[in-house]
Amino acid sequence: MTSRGGRCLCGDVVYQYSGPENWSGHCHCESCRRNCSAAIVTFFGVPRSAYRFTGAEPGVYESSPGVRRLFCRRCGTPMAYDADRYPHEIHFYAASLDDPEKFTPQFHVHSGERLAWLNVVDELPKYEKSASSVNKPQS
C-alpha cells in the first residue's frame, strides 16, 4: 500500500496517509482563495480512516458553520479543509505534499468564482459550482 505525506512550512505539522486519493482538484471559491491568499487552491481528498497527523496537532479555525480550516499554529501554513458535508473524508492542500510534482489534479470547481485575470488554459473539466456537482467516491 502506498503512503504519502506532507508538512507545513516550519515542519511542525506533519501528516501521512495511505492508499489512493479519492479525488484531486483546483478550487476557485472566494473562501479558499482568502484562506490561502492565492488565486487558486488545489486540494485532494482522502478517507478519514487513511490519514493521521504525525507532528504537532494543527490549529482549527471555523470559517463558516460546519467548515473548519486546519493550519500550523507556529508558521500559519494552511493544512486542510474539514467540513461536516464531507463526513467520510478530509481535504489536504496539494502544495503541502512532500512530493507535489507527483500530484495530478483532475478538475476545477467553483469556476464561476474564478478571478477574471487568472487565465486557465488546461483541458481539465470545469464545474461552475461546488464540489457536490462532482461524482466523488466515498470511503
> What's the CA gap between 22 and 24, in Å, rounded?
7
The structural domain count of the chain equals: 1
For 60-116, how does the pLDDT look when each residue is reduced to its tens digit (9 = 90+)?
Answer: 999 999 999 999 999 999 999 999 999 999 999 999 999 999 999 999 999 999 999
Q: What is the SS3 assignment for 11?
A: coil
Is the distance from CB of 38 to CB of 82 less than 8 angstroms?
Answer: no
Name the helix (H) or strand (E) containing 104.
none
Q: Assess if residue 59 is contained within a domain.
A: yes
Cell (9 digits) for 48: 478519514
Q: What is the SS3 assignment for 44?
A: strand
Q: Tell me which DSSP letter residue 97 carries.
A: B
Structural domain for 47, as ranges: 3-120
Q: Assess if residue 33 is contained within a domain.
A: yes
Full-model pTM? 0.89
Q: Assess if residue 139 is contained within a domain.
A: no
Q: Assess if residue 132 is contained within a domain.
A: no
